[in-house]
Structures are given as C-alpha cells and as structure tokens.
C-alpha cells in the first residue's frame, strides 16, 4: 500500500464524516479497506511463520487423523 492509497483512504473517511459517500465512493472505500486488511493479514501471517508458529491441523495430535477424536489420549 503506497502513500497515495493511504491518503485516499483518509480523504474518503473525511468525506464520509462531512457529507456521506456516494455509492461510487463507498465502493472505492470498501475496495481500499479490503486491500488494507489483506496486507495486514499477510504481514501477521508472515510474522507468525517467522516466529515458528504452526497452524493447528484438524487432525488429532496422536496422528489418528480423526476430526472427531473420541478415544482416550494422554494429552486430553
């Protein structure tokens, strides 16, 4: 996200507060917000990966590959 896009986000926020947004402006704002969220999510994911975090899998930790693991495990 570059400085021009950030400036536009801020401009649209100011316009929204002052007079409200047109449908076109609202769509543009939503698109820009989605870009920001995508960038933030990507940065957080990257930082978590670099820190050694591994997303938990849906399978049981014992390796049974069961999503609905009902048998006894020492870790339960």
The residue ranking higher by pLDDT, 20 or 59, is: 20
Q: How far is CA 46 from the centre of its chain?
A: 12
Domains and CATH numbers, the chain: 3-49 (1.10.287)
Write the pLDDT tens digit of every residue in 22-69: 999 999 999 999 999 999 999 999 999 998 887 765 556 666 666 666
pLDDT score recorded for residue 71: 65
The residue ranking higher by pLDDT, 19 or 74, is: 19
pLDDT score recorded for residue 27: 98
| pTM of this structure | 0.64
Kindly state the tokens that stand for 32: 């820009």
Q: HSE (CB half, 13 Å, CA atoms) of 15?
A: 14
* Contact predicate 56/64, CB 8 Å: no
pLDDT score recorded for residue 54: 73
Contacts of 35 (CB under 8 A, 6+ apart): 1, 5
């Amino acid at each position: 996200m570059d400085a021009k896009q950030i400036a536009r986000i801020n401009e649209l926020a100011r316009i929204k507060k002052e007079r409200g947004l047109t449908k076109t402006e609202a769509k543009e704002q939503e698109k820009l917000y989605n870009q920001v969220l995508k960038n933030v999510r990507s940065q957080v994911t990257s930082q978590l990966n670099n820190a050694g975090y591994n997303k938990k899998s849906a399978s049981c930790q014992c390796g049974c590959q069961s999503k609905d693991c009902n048998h006894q495990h020492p870790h339960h």
